[in-house]
Structure 1
Amino acid sequence: MASRRTEIPPAPILALVVLAMGVLVIAPGALSGAVADAVMPLRFAVPEVALLAPAAIAALAVLAVWAFARAPRTGADRIVATIALAAVPVAYLSSETLKSAFAEERPCQAAAVAAGCPGAGDWSFPSNHSTVAFALAASVALVVSGWVAVTSAVLAVVAASGRVLEGVHYPHDVAAGALVGIACVVLATRVAAAPARRWVGRLAERHRRRKA
């Protein structure tokens, strides 16, 4: 049975994740473009690659709902779990805002590949799919541990990789999306955790006084 938890992952682990992804975000350069160019033929050779991201995100959504259902019915942990899940659409909106600000062309647009490529104005940076996938994975990891948390992380990587293999995103797009998704969930729960526990503590104290 997976154990419950609503603690923020240790700071060193988060720092390593941010550092690893930040390398791609801060210095995408020729490496990111070279990877996108190298995998571009795969979208024609294996059309089913387009199903990777949607399937992974659907599985993540199921895991997130399952994890939320396992959270305590009352108390601060339930509040934190609720906020973690609610932060997912906030992450998506944040990604959409960044897309408009950066207005980066997609690799398939740059390569003039029309088949299956989003139209002009549908920007690349950051990846919405990656943002949502990693936000869902983070919300799961904050509520449960063990194989469920590991599975959610793997599914998020699959979703992000699928978008690169599909030729619609550069590696730095999905890395940035991962950062946005994780940051929104972690920040939301970090801000909410202490007030939630204080509020629940006050309610419990009032309840004890009434019974005394």
Structure 2
Amino acid sequence: MTITTERELQRVSHLVLGRPRPAPALPRKPAGMSKQEWKVEKQRLRDAGQQLVDGVEEHVQLQERWSHKANGTAETHEHAAVSAGREGALLRLVRTGAIDAHQLAAAEKIAEAFAAITAEVTVRTARWGDRNPGGGPNAAEAVPIAAVIQQRTYQRWREATGVHAPMVLAIVVDDVAVTAAARRWRLSNRRARSILVTALDRWQRC
């Protein structure tokens, strides 16, 4: 059987039909190995299973790694795990000393305010056709004071940051690397970092 035929058979069996890894063909007990040692080795070989061809082996490993998860595909769980373990753009800047802990905290506040305002706009848009001029939980006076302060702070910060706000938000909210943001807005890396640092410091003064 050619390698191509074997690969296709394994691909259909394990990737299409989802069959488990086959048990390996066990060799004869090596000379000099005790029965107890051979028993342990045989169990290890059975647990390892048969090594599959390149391209199929990696996919089967992925399926085995996430077989304990009932919901979602193995690819989805793998992507989520990689994303969770990846260091974010802002944390990389902290690690390299480009920004400090206070500036990181400011970035988190900006992201929180952006998320809150975006959510509020979505809710109001959804309720636009059902206006209620009276009181109730949707009345202006029912909005928490802290939320109002947060919105006003964000608006002042947004206006003060001016044309650079979209780039700063891309880094802070969307986790875009500074180098990538610099290319997108046609700036040098040094200039992009400087704008980010200034914007983060500005939040603490708004």
Greater share of residues in helix: 1
Larger radius of gyration: 2
Bigger RCO of structures 1 and 2 (CA < 8 A, at least 6 apart):
1
TM-score tier, shorter chain, comes to under 0.3
TM-score where L is the length of structure 2: 0.24
TM-score, structure 1 normalization: 0.24
